[in-house]
Amino acid sequence: MNDHNDLPDLPSEPDHDPVPDHMPPMPAMPAGVQAQPIPGQRCGLVAIVGKPNVGKSTLMNALVGQKISITSRKAQTTRHRITGIRTVADAEGPGGTQFVFVDTPGFQTRHANALNRSLNKTVLGAVADVDLILFVVEAGRFTSADAKVLGLLDRNIPVLLIANKLDTVLRRADLAPWLQQMQREHGGEAQDRFAEFVPMSAKNAKDIERLFAICAKYLPEQNWWYDAEELTDRSEKFLAGETVREKLFRLTGDELPYTSTVVVDKFEEEPPQKKGHKRLVKIAATIVVERDGHKAMVIGDKGERIKRIGMETRQELEKLMDAKVFIELWVKVRSGWADDEARVKSFGYE
């Protein structure tokens, strides 16, 4: 780990183009998709939407079958559109369904700073052209914040109500009256807001399989966009930054405001030096905070906390990338960056 007392300034203009790596456009049909229809194949976009901290990223990771979106107890940890891919092939023949999932930031209805305006723009952009929306709430709860987010969605796109975190409901019988109320208020002919109601837990494999079956019928019959083995369209560099940010929030708890972010300054690969060795990935990243007190909090006593952030990030990335990873972390104060439109964009947000 580096000496954090003499840190280089972050460039006012990054030496890389942040937009392609941090915020690609909504996925469209990739070049090279076969024009000849393949019988029995379905493929489409599914947006995962909801207010902060209802388990959207946990659900995304469970649906994809691998961790590609960061999770934390802290609200608003997802900052970008994360596209996950899961292909459920038929047992026989070339048919089956390819789900292209878009995990969005939690829609902010309280704080109107530049960062939250950017995040809300991301949510609305993510759901504009999808085939299906999974609207995630905590089982047994539907708040005014949930209603505000629901009111922003296109009524022409089918929406499933995902009553998540069913595992936290102590008495399942208590959930029945709530579901009946939701069906009366949002599912009848007068409202017709939710196409279906799905109580579930993202941690339950059977619930995940059931959700696949429910979602499949809403996706159009068309050829798959990606190879069956692909899990995400995001780069390793992007996933490296997300992993640093997850460890940052997990290890600082509620002490650190969510307006902290991570900028990946360097991502370099070197081929294996010998046969049987793994490639080397060198990463340099800057943790951006808004106050000197936050900087001290991230570094920790004698640098112990930032060392642990780096160690846990390295261990996870080595598994994810199947590579030897070397990572350097810096901490820099940028006061008020979350309220500065230009700096929000320079850090890779729309």
CA 289 – CA 299 distance, rounded (Å)? 11
Tokens of 214: 């429910």
Query: Does 335 belong to an annotated binding site?
Result: no
Tokens of 333: 């104060």
Query: Does 165 belong to an annotated binding site?
Result: yes
CA dist list (Å): 216 to 101, 205, 279: 12, 17, 38
Tokens of 305: 């906390």
Query: Does 301 belong to an annotated binding site?
Result: no
Alpha-helical regions (H) of the chain: 18-22, 56-64, 114-126, 144-151, 175-182, 205-216, 236-252, 292-299, 304-321, 341-346
Query: Does 2 belong to an annotated binding site?
Result: no
CA 332 – CA 175 distance, rounded (Å)? 47
Query: Does 254 belong to an annotated binding site?
Result: no
Query: Does 84 belong to an annotated binding site?
Result: no
Query: Does 53 belong to an annotated binding site?
Result: yes
Query: Does 57 belong to an annotated binding site?
Result: yes
CA 103 – CA 98 distance, rounded (Å)? 16
Query: Does 144 belong to an annotated binding site?
Result: no
Query: Does 302 belong to an annotated binding site?
Result: no
Query: Does 307 belong to an annotated binding site?
Result: no
Match 């596209």 to its residue by tokens.
83
- Give me the amino acid identity at 150: L
Query: Does 340 belong to an annotated binding site?
Result: no
Query: Does 51 belong to an annotated binding site?
Result: yes
Query: Does 56 belong to an annotated binding site?
Result: yes
Query: Does 164 belong to an annotated binding site?
Result: yes
Query: Does 119 belong to an annotated binding site?
Result: no
Neighbours of 128 (CB within 10 A): 11
Query: Does 15 belong to an annotated binding site?
Result: no
Q: Which residues are annotated as a binding site for GTP?
A: 50-57, 103-107, 164-167
Which amino acids are annotated as binding site, given as ranges?
50-57, 103-107, 164-167
